Amino acid sequence: MYDAFPRPTHGALFVVSGPSGVGKSTLLKQAFDVIPGLTFSVSATTRAPRRGEVDGRDYHFLDDATFAERLAQGAFLEHATVYGRSYGTLREPVETAIAAGNSILLDIDVQGARSVRKAMPEAVTIMIAPPNVAALEQRLRNRGTDSDEIIAGRMRDVATQLGAVAEFDYVVVNDDLRTAHASLQSVLLGELCRVSRHQGRVETVRKALAAHR
């Protein structure tokens, strides 16, 4: 849809958070489909590769010792341990992609977003929020995939996630899906239009103007 959009010479790091069931996956899928140069970060993990997974494409697969060593070196923007396995976002691949004009998007929780903002203050943070808490609970129940106990746990997490909204740069309310798509994509495209991300193009214009003086 935005194939003619001018690619920046310096990309952006986008951090998207929001409670379970708010519709992040739907919104992000379309954003990746229509915005050139926008990709998911490839996380590192200590879990073993599953059948068909490729190192460097699906995950950066590290053993426990290597992960711990990289962590001690400050190589991660954020990390977490889930069910005994470590996961994290490596700084170097993100910075390399951004310097090449590509943009990276992280879909992580509020705690992870705080870690990334501390490590890279220039990161653009976006909270995906429901129109109200009751609507979110109804969405979770309508999916029919979780027990009442799991839904109750997810709803307890809502307070943690949405309670941090004031820390974010943008909030996109997913009430009407079409409007939410437009809002999220407007934020992404607007940030990618910043002059600071197009210094190569700015310099070209300056040279062209100087040649015509």
CA distance 177 to 39: 22
- Do the Cβ atoms of 22 and 129 come closer than 8 Å? yes
156 within some domain? yes
pLDDT of residue 172: 97
The pLDDT, as a whole number, for residue 139 is: 76
pLDDT in tens, the chain (213 residues): 677 778 888 999 999 999 888 889 999 999 999 999 999 999 999 999 999 999 988 999 999 999 999 999 999 999 998 778 999 999 999 999 999 999 999 999 999 999 999 999 999 999 999 988 887 788 778 877 777 787 877 777 788 889 999 999 999 999 999 999 999 999 999 999 999 998 877 777 778 777 877
Q: What is the pLDDT of residue 1?
A: 67
Sign, CA dihedral 172-174-179-185, equals: positive
pTM: 0.86
Instruction: List the structure tokens of 189.
Output: 């495209």
Helix and strand totals (H; E) in the chain: 8, 9
Res 82: pLDDT: 79
- Element housing 133 (H / E): helix 133-143
Whether 201 is in a domain gets the answer: yes
Give the number of domains in the chain: 1
**CA 123/CA 16 separation, integer angstroms:** 10
**pLDDT of amino acid 181:** 97
- Both ends of the chain: CA-CA distance in Å? 38
User: Strand, helix or coil at 189?
Assistant: helix
d(CA 165, CA 125): 10
Judge whether 72 lies within some domain.
no
pLDDT of the residue at 150:
79
Which residue range(s) make up the domain with 19?
13-41+103-211
Q: Which residue reads 């400050």 in tokens?
A: 74
Is 60 within a domain?
A: no
d(CA 182, CA 162): 21
Say which CATH number the domain at 165 has.
3.40.50.300
Is residue 175 one of the residues assigned to a domain? yes
In a domain, 115, yes or no: yes
Residue 120 lies inside a defined structural domain of this protein: yes
Output the furthest CA–CA distance in the chain (Å, rounded).
Answer: 72
